[in-house]
Structure formats: C-alpha cells, structure tokens
C-alpha cells in the first residue's frame, strides 16, 4: 500500500500541492485525475523524492530511500522522452538495469513485453511518442517492482497500444502489485482503474473507488418511461423524489430502479422502460473539478478568428 501523507510543494509564490494525503491500495489500479496544472506530476515527483517538499510517502510503511534497491520496489514513468537520444534502447535499459542491480537479461525480456524488441539496437532519439512510451514502460517494469507510478503513459499510443496497456496494467495489478497512473483519457481510466484520486489546484478532491464516485454523483439517475406519465408523476411528488420530466419519460435522482419499479407496479402503471443511468467518469470529473481548472479555454468567436 502506498500512503502519501501531507504532501506539499510551493514554487515561489504558488502553492502547487497543498497538504495532500491519500492511500493507494495494493492489487488495484488507481487513477490520478486532475485538470491541467492541478499538481499531478508534482505530486508524483514528491512521492518519489525527486522534488523537495513537505510530507512523506511510504511504500509498505517504508520510505523509498529506506529500501536498498528502490527500482525493485517502484517503477516509474514520468516522461516518455527521458532517454539519451543516441544511446540505443537496449543500452538505455542496460544502464537502468545496472543502476538497479537488475540482471541484464531482463532488458531483452521487457523489450519483448512492450513490443519493441526489434528496435533494441536503434537510437531512441527518432522514436515516435508511442514507441518512446513503450520504452518508458519497459524501463518502469524492468525491476519487476511491486509499485508502478506512471504519468500519462497512454499519451501517443495508438488504439491497439492503449488496449494493450489497459490489459497489461490490470494484469500487473492483479498479481498483488499496485499501479498508480495519471491520465487525461477518462474513458480509458474508467475501464482501467478501480479507484481514483482526484485533485484540483493542488488540493485533494476525492480518494475513492470509481463505482462510489459515480454512484454518489448527482448526474446518476434512474430513467423510467411509461404510458401513464401523469399518475407516475403524482407518485413521485408524493414520495418527494427529485426528477426531471421530458417527452420520453422521467429522470429520477437518488433512488434505485427497484424502488421506482415497485411503486409503479403497486399503482398498476405499465412501465415501458426502466434503467439505471450512471454518469460517465468524464461527467463526474467535470463536476468535481469545476472551478479548480488552472487554465480555461473559451469558445472561439468570429472576432477571435473563428471561421463562420
């Protein structure tokens, strides 16, 4: 288990990370979400001791520098292009293997795992972003670490690569390992992660499971369609339900399909459609981080150069 306690970091007059504490469970993929400039990368760097700031992070109750061979405990990918451009991919990994006291034969294994074994002797300076990410993932898993901390590893990967990464990380976590991953691809994250940590403007907003996060969101509702809308609406009013009415039916918040179904049945109202509609992770994310974006874009108008 990773425990981050009171992490904080200030850059001159800006508080980038504001006393954040959270837990990352073992055996699960935990997503790390936040708008641009929220402090995700800085938090990850603080966790790894790369940035000097306040707070502590423990991995199985020990700080990373209390382990003899840290790269066998935590594998990291913080930047895709973190390699010397003219040192071959294999030599890049050999350097990392040597630094981590990892057998050199492991280098070819991980190159094979990430699918770039054929590029082993090439200089990575001309690698595409996707290939660079694969090399970064190879570096992260080199020491077979229990913990993976990955910053935007899906950036630049093609659809096949993203699907591979999703399956790979889920399998990795299932082997009693822990994956902590930041991403802007929220649909991917909803399929990949079990839990999420959400931050905005350096502050912790949520640290929970994706299921709980979505279930507790106001945009999750029950949709019901009936031929007898007037009667059903009167029941909703009597029960003080929060609902929205449209031409097709009702969206009822804060109740289960069971409850709506039973009420309709007891009133002899034929139900034509009854479904639970969860908010998407993107909807929840946007609601949670509303007002905590560091940078906000505006819709282009003709005066701003948009074409009509």
Among 6, 10, 14, 85, binds other proteins (CB under 8 A): 85
Q: Where does the chain show beta strands of DSSP type E?
A: 2-11, 14-24, 29-33, 54-59, 62-63, 74-77, 147-151, 178-182, 195-200, 203-209, 221-226, 242-245, 250-253, 271-277
Min separation Cβ 192 and other proteins, Å: 23
Select from 13, 61, 65, 268 the one that contacts other proteins (CB under 8 A).
Answer: 65
Residues 14-53 that bind other proteins (CB under 8 A): 45, 48-52
End-to-end CA distance of the chain: 54
* Identified binder of other proteins from the candidate list 2, 74, 137, 199, rule CB under 8 A: 74
Q: Which residues of 49-73 are buried (b: 16+ CB within 10 A; e: fewer)?
A: eebebebebebeeeebeeeeebbbb
Residues between 186 and 245 with contacts to other proteins, criterion CB under 8 A: none
Is the CB of 104 or the CB of 242 nearer to other proteins?
A: 104
Instruction: For tokens 């996060």, name the residue.
Output: 213
Nearer to other proteins by C-beta: 13 or 65?
Answer: 65
Q: Please count the residues of this chain forming the interface with other proteins, following the rule CB under 8 A.
A: 35
In three-state secondary structure terms, 262 is helix
Task: Select from 82-90, 185-193, 262-270, 299-307 the region that touches other proteins (CB under 8 A).
Answer: 82-90
Residues engaged in binding other proteins (CB under 8 A): 45, 48-52, 64-71, 74, 76, 78-79, 81-88, 91, 94-96, 98-101, 139
């Amino acid at each position: 288990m990773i425990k981050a306690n009171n992490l904080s970091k200030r850059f001159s007059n800006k508080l980038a990370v504001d006393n954040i504490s959270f837990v990352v469970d073992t055996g699960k993929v935990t997503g790390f979400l936040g708008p641009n400039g929220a402090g995700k990368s800085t938090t990850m760097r603080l966790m790894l001791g790369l940035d000097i700031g306040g707070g502590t992070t423990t991995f199985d109750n020990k700080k990373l520098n209390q382990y003899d061979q840290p790269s066998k405990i935590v594998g990291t990918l913080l930047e895709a292009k973190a390699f010397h451009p003219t040192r071959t991919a294999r030599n890049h990994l050999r350097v990392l293997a040597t630094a981590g006291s990892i057998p050199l034969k492991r280098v070819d294994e991980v190159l094979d795992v990430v699918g770039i074994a054929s590029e082993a002797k090439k200089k990575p300076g001309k690698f595409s972003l996707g290939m660079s990410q694969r090399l970064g993932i190879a570096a992260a898993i080199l020491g077979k670490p229990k913990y993976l901390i990955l910053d935007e590893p899906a950036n630049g990967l093609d659809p096949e690569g993203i699907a591979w990464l999703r399956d790979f990380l889920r399998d990795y976590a299932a082997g009693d390992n822990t994956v902590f991953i930041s991403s802007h691809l929220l649909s991917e994250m909803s399929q990949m992660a079990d839990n999420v940590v959400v931050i905005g403007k350096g502050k912790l907003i949520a640290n929970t499971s994706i299921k709980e996060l979505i279930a507790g969101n106001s945009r999750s509702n029950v949709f019901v369609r009936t031929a007898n809308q007037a009667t059903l609406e009167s029941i909703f009013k009597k029960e003080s339900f929060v609902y929205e009415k449209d031409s097709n039916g009702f969206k009822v918040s804060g109740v289960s399909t069971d409850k709506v179904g039973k009420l309709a049945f007891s009133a002899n109202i034929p139900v034509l459609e009854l479904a639970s509609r969860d908010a998407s992770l993107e909807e929840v994310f946007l609601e949670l981080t509303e007002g905590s974006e560091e940078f906000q874009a505006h819709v282009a108008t003709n005066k701003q150069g948009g074409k009509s």
